[in-house]
Amino acid sequence: MSPASRYTTTAIALHWLAALLIFAAFPLGVYAHELALSPLKLKLLSYHKWLGVTLFLLTVARLAWRATHTPPPLPATMPRWQQRAAHGLHHLLYLLLLAIPLSGWLMSSAKGFPVVYLGLVQLPDLVGKNVELAELFKGVHQVLNFGLLALVGLHVAAALKHHFIDRDATLRRMLPFVKEV
Amino acid sequence: MNPDWPLAKKSMNFRVGAALAAIADYRGQGRSYNLGLPLLPLLLASLAGNAAAVEFNQVQTDKSTLSFGYKQMGVPSDGKFRQFAAAIAFDPAKPAAATTQLEIDLASIDTGSKEGNDEVAGKQWFNVKSFPTAKFVSSSVKPLGGNRYEVAGKLTLKGKTQAVSAPFTVKQEGAVAVFDGGFTLKRLDYAIGEGPWADVGTVANEVQITFHVVAGAAPAKK
């Protein structure tokens, strides 16, 4: 049996759901951070945290799926350094999708505000209230997010390059509603 | 643990002085066990000679706290007031005659962040420029059995005065009495959080007020 040329429907669905959540959580976090203290700010910060928790859980689910399902191969024409770079980038993206929600959770705990997922499930505080630690985790959260922004940019640029310049099937492997090539 | 304590406890029945010394020693270890309570009758008996009733009326502000808890977006959050003046007169023999007055410096609020402190000082919250202090004056203290009581009185906050009551306990710890209690205040009753903040879906209406007051004993002032 030849390897599948496309990701499984589940992998595709989880990937695009993650993309959607990242593109919601990132600007929400930046915007809410800039807002003056108001009910809107408190709401948006909570939504941001809920999205972050969801992304963390989604990433765990994606890793579990990935571990049990072989992804379709990259085009054989692709140079080895590019294949290695693609794998490295994917690993980093997964790492950030775990580390960023964790750093946000740590920041929230250190600020003295527990995370209450969906307003219903209170997560345990990872650290006690501590102003210096809160500032540290805030910095870490920001740096990791700008790292994510850069890596997502690279990820998207590479996908588009494969699709429009190399004209290979790399992006189509992950596109929904596309017939098997 | 203080290994001497069981011995000290035995001698307590015979020598008040030794027992009091043991408590002083015990408190010196930084313990906060409720060891004073069984000694209260002895303590009072030992002072009965000078006729004046002893009451707890020397509030130790540095050991007392006034804090609050609330929920925003379902997130339990808390804070405290750093400055308040408390007057208490509590005679364990006549608890129903006890009185208390609290005056809280609202600008001393600590919500956990500077942003929060600045916000709640503003007009929509406490409006501390026009209403710098909150005041509670007790009108009655009702024994509820054991070391439990309930204080009722009037709370004035942001120009509004309402009746409130709070159950509390009294524990004697060596030479001091510790009053612990609290009640739930509905912030909108006092217009705390107006305009967009009046939305109780974001910041809950219920605010749990908790007090912990430590007071030493002295002859009753009268």
pLDDT-wise least confident of A1-5, A121-125, A157-161, B56-60? A1-5
Domain residue ranges in chain B? 52-219
Per-residue pLDDT tens over the stretch A94-129: 999 999 999 999 999 999 999 999 999 999 999 999
Whole-angstrom distance, CA of residue B13 vs CA of residue A94: 70
Look at chain A and report how many structural domains it folds into.
Answer: 1
Residue A37 domain boundaries = 9-174
CATH code (residue A91): 1.20.950
pLDDT-wise least confident of A90-104, B41-55, B159-173? B41-55
pLDDT surpasses 60 at B127: yes
Comparing CA positions, the residue from A29, A51, A43, A54 lying closest to residue A144 is: A29
Q: Cβ contact (<8 Å) for B75 and A39? A: no
Per-residue pLDDT tens over the stretch A41-65: 999 999 999 999 999 999 999 999 9
Name the strand (E) or helix (H) holding A121: strand A121-122
- pLDDT, mean of residues A68-89: 93
Q: Cβ contact (<8 Å) for A116 and B73? A: yes
Where does the pLDDT of residue B221 fall: very low under 50, low under 70, confident under 90, or very high at 90 and above?
Answer: low
Write the residue in B113, B118, B202 that is nearest to A42 by C-beta. Answer: B202
pLDDT surpasses 70 at B40: no
Q: Is A96 inside a domain boundary?
A: yes
Q: Is A76 inside a domain boundary?
A: yes
The ipTM (two decimal places) reads 0.83
Longest dimension (CA), chain A: 59
Per-residue pLDDT tens over the stretch B185-219: 999 999 999 999 999 999 999 999 999 999 999 88
pLDDT surpasses 60 at B20: no
Give residue B32's pLDDT: 41
Where does the pLDDT of residue B54 fall: very low under 50, low under 70, confident under 90, or very high at 90 and above?
Answer: confident
Give residue B64's pLDDT: 96
For B111, nearest residue in chain A (alpha carbons): A112
Alpha-carbon distance A140 to nearest alpha carbon in chain B (angstroms): 20
From chain A residues 87-146, the ones with a CB under 8 A of any chain B CB are 111-116, 119-120, 122, 129
- pLDDT, mean of residues B23-40: 44
The CATH code of the domain at B52-219 is 2.40.128.110
Whole-angstrom distance, CA of residue B137 vs CA of residue B116: 28
Give residue A107's pLDDT: 97
Whole-angstrom distance, CA of residue A45 vs CA of residue A24: 12
pLDDT-wise least confident of A5-9, A156-160, B193-197, B211-215? A5-9
Cα dihedral A66, A69, A75, A79 sign? positive
pLDDT surpasses 80 at B50: no
Give residue A4's pLDDT: 75
Q: Is A2 inside a domain boundary?
A: no
For B114, nearest residue in chain A (alpha carbons): A37
Q: Is A181 inside a domain boundary?
A: no
Comparing CA positions, the residue from B111, B115, B107, B99 lying closest to residue B134 is: B107
Comparing CA positions, the residue from B68, B103, B69 lying closest to residue B84 is: B103
Q: Cβ contact (<8 Å) for A39 and B197? A: yes
Per-residue pLDDT tens over the stretch B129-163: 999 999 999 999 999 999 999 999 999 999 999 99
pLDDT-wise least confident of A44-58, B2-16, B26-40, B177-191? B2-16
pTM passes above 0.90 = no
Q: Is A156 inside a domain boundary?
A: yes
A35: contact with B, CB 8 A cutoff:
no
Chain A residues within an 8 Å CB radius of B115: 37
Q: Cβ contact (<8 Å) for B75 and A46? A: yes
